A = this chain, B = another copy of it.
Amino acid sequence: MRRVAIVGVGMTKFGEHWDLGFRDLILEAGVNALADANMQGNEIDGLFGGTMASGKMIGQEHIGALLADYMGLTPVASTRVEAACASGGLALRTGFMAIASGLHDRVIVGGVEKMTDISADEVTVALGGAGDQEWELFQGATFPALYALMAKRHMFEFGTKEEHFAAVAVKNHLNATKNKYAQYQKEITIQDVMESRPVAPPLKILDCSPISDGAAAAVLVPLEEARKYSDTPIEIIASTQASGSIALQSRRTKTALYSTKIAAEKAYSMAKLQPKDIDVCEVHDCFTSAEVMAIEDLGFFEKGKGGFASFDGETALNSKISINTSGGLKGCGHPVGATGVKQAAEIVWQLRGQAGKRQVTGAEIGMTHNVGGSGATCVIHIMKRAD
């Protein structure tokens, strides 16, 4: 199996792009990533794109071909993968596999979603397709409702408080103010979160990631060729994926994601590392409570202690472990298909030492944690600067 490195990353600003369409977004991110890799488009021999619900959001399927065409890359082999909000991370993993196998040599991986062309109600229904349509969405359980059930149970079992969840939003908004690509450029306080409009108790509007447009891209090559394109190639030392029950009702526990635990175990084993070795991690905080559970499931904190740790500042920039330096889904925005690739871009910038005001001092090992639905898919990557 060939070793794989990222030699270029790029993205659009995340936010409400009233003046840009789906095609414009991916083009901008793709061109930025190619430029960052000092690579011409015609050198690319494979494209892997992650998009969740383009059928419902822009009336378009066949996204792989669309991306290749609008990036001017035909006849490149171009594949769309979909795993709800983990579509981007899964595109990265599939691109990794393409190079590891030897079937492809220079791959561009993209994630994109254009969510603001339909109403917020329609987006809620489209996102509901990430859960079990027949047993959840059809019965009225939207995503905030599903995550609220998990958050409530976490509070009941471990004494986690709403203020603990709120602290995650405050930290992620602060990080976002240091990231020019982030949707929100505004600090908030715990009081702001606590007083914000209820969505599905205990989750309030400021506990929820927003509806966003955006795209992100990354260029992958075999490690042995990486120095041709970058002085600081970032090696992918683990790429893993696991599934869990799509409906919440079928799970043994509501306070942990089985898919995260399995994918994390595999990732640590593949990278021959432990949780304490990770310096910086982008976790999937679609809701603040999801970040609390993620930092436990990934082994950074004991189960039940994630809320307390967040409230105590142990996940802030340059603290015990820097979580979501990009601003996360909450602060940076969450164009669902793009998120997993954006997480990878953030880790690449951190490991290169290019993260500016949000740089984690001496960051050597980084991780991304991308979740689909309420946890039925988890994709994890671990990266380090190539020797």
Contacts and interface: CB of A to CB of B under 8 A. Distances in A.
B376 A69 contact: yes
A90 B79 contact: yes
Given A55-B55, A82-B82, A69 B245 contact: yes
Nearest to A74: B243
Instruction: Give the 10 A-B residue pairs with the shortest CB-CB distance, closest first.
Output: A101-B101, A65-B376, A61-B129, A77-B241, A62-B84, A55-B55, A68-B243, A100-B101, A1-B102, A60-B133
Contacts of A247: 69
Contact of A62 (B59, B66, B79, B131): B131
A110 to B, nearest CB: 14
A166 interface: no
Interface of A: 1, 21, 47, 52-56, 58-66, 68-69, 73-84, 90, 94, 97-98, 100-103, 125-126, 128-134, 137-138, 239-247, 250, 258-259, 262, 372-373, 376-377
Nearest to A51: B82
Given A65-B83, A80-B83, A250-B69, A75 B137 contact: no
Contacts of A82: 61-64, 80-82
A74 B241 contact: no
B246 A62 contact: yes
B97 A245 contact: no
A280 B66 CA distance: 31
A129 B60 CA distance: 4
Contact of A76 (B66, B79, B80, B243): B243
A158 B84 CA distance: 46
A62 B83 contact: yes
Contact of A65 (B54, B58, B81, B372): B372
A130 B372 contact: no
Nearest to A129: B61
For this chain, the copies found in one complex come to 2
Given A97-B97, A97-B103, A101-B101, A129 B77 contact: no
Contact of A79 (B103, B137, B241): B241
Given A61-B129, A65-B376, A73-B243, 14 more contacts: A1-B102, A53-B61, A55-B56, A58-B133, A59-B128, A61-B130, A62-B84, A62-B373, A64-B82, A69-B244, A78-B243, A79-B83, A97-B103, A101-B102
A103 B65 contact: no
Contacts of A243: 47, 64-65, 68-69, 73-78
A59 B137 contact: yes
B55 A83 contact: no
Contacts of A101: 1, 97-98, 100-103
A245 B239 CA distance: 32
Nearest to A73: B243
Nearest to A130: B62
B69 A94 contact: no
A174 B84 CA distance: 41
Contacts of A94: 79, 81, 94, 97
A23 B137 CA distance: 16
A373 to B, nearest CB: 5
Nearest to A4: B101
Most-contacted residue by chain B among A54, A82, A98 (CB, 10 A): A82
